């Protein structure tokens, strides 16, 4: 009788533990199912991203290839134009009975003059960019100061000053514009 009560108690405890473990198992099965679904969703997203990435790479390659073809055609056309211009210059030289050495000197002097002028143009464009940048910086500073002194932004804007467009300029101070 003494052992029977002990056995009943052990059976009851074992059933209770079994019930708890079965509940835990059911919870773990549910969690496993949810994680499996999440895993599939993440794998699908990964695959979609991979395919999208591949498509984007192929598109960029196609655009680059097309651009390269266009550039090659332009280079070939420019080369033909230069050859044609050289041939015309030689024909003019031959027709005018000019000395080829003199023509070469004239061509060299024209090339040097063009290089010099192009350099001057670049320097002037750089100076203009610095001036625009300085003006824009000063305009921003003065506008901010006016607002700080209590002048409404609408009145400052009504003055009509507008910033210059600054293609190729940084957002740093005007003295930091680099050639």
Q: Identify the residue whose tokens are 């099965």.
A: 29
Q: Is the pLDDT of residue 174 over 60?
A: no
pTM score > 0.85 for this model? no
Distance CA 36, CA 28 (A): 12
Look at the block and give the residue holding tokens 């052992």.
Answer: 3
pLDDT of res. 23:
96
Q: Residue 175: which pLDDT band, with cuts at 50, 70 and 90?
A: low
Please provide residue 25's backbone torsions phi and psi, each rounded to the nearest 5 degrees: -60, -45
> pLDDT, tens digit, for every residue of 82-134?
899 888 877 887 787 777 787 788 888 988 998 999 999 999 988 888 888 88
Count CA atoms within 13 Å of residue 136 on its CB side.
19
DSSP E strands, the chain: none
- For residue 178, is pLDDT > 60? no
| CA dist., res. 4 & res. 179, Å (int) | 100
Q: Is 162 helix (H, G, I), strand (E, B) or coil?
A: coil
What b/e readout covers 126-150, taking b as 16+ CB neighbours within 10 angstroms? eeebbebbeebbebeeebeeeeeee
For the chain, give the mean pLDDT: 85
User: In a 3-state reduction of DSSP, which class is residue 159?
Assistant: coil
pLDDT at 168: 61
For residue range 135-172, what is the model confidence (pLDDT) as tens digits? 888 888 888 888 888 888 888 788 887 787 766 656 66
């Amino acid at each position: 009788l003494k052992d029977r009560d002990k056995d009943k108690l052990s059976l009851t405890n074992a059933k209770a533990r079994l019930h708890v473990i079965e509940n835990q198992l059911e919870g773990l099965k549910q969690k496993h199912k949810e994680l499996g679904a999440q895993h599939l969703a993440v794998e699908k997203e990964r695959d979609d991203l991979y395919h999208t990435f591949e498509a984007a790479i192929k598109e960029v390659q196609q655009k680059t290839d097309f651009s390269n073809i266009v550039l090659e055609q332009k280079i070939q056309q420019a080369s033909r134009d230069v050859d044609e211009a050289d041939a015309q210059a030689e024909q003019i030289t031959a027709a005018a009975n000019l000395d080829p050495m003199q023509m070469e000197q004239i061509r060299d002097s024209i090339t040097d003059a063009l290089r010099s002028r192009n350099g001057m143009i670049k320097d002037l464009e750089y100076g203009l960019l610095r001036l625009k940048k300085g003006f824009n910086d000063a305009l921003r500073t003065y506008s901010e100061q006016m607002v700080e002194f209590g002048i409404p932004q609408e009145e400052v804007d009504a003055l009509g000053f507008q910033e210059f467009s600054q293609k190729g300029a940084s957002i740093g101070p005007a003295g930091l514009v680099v050639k």
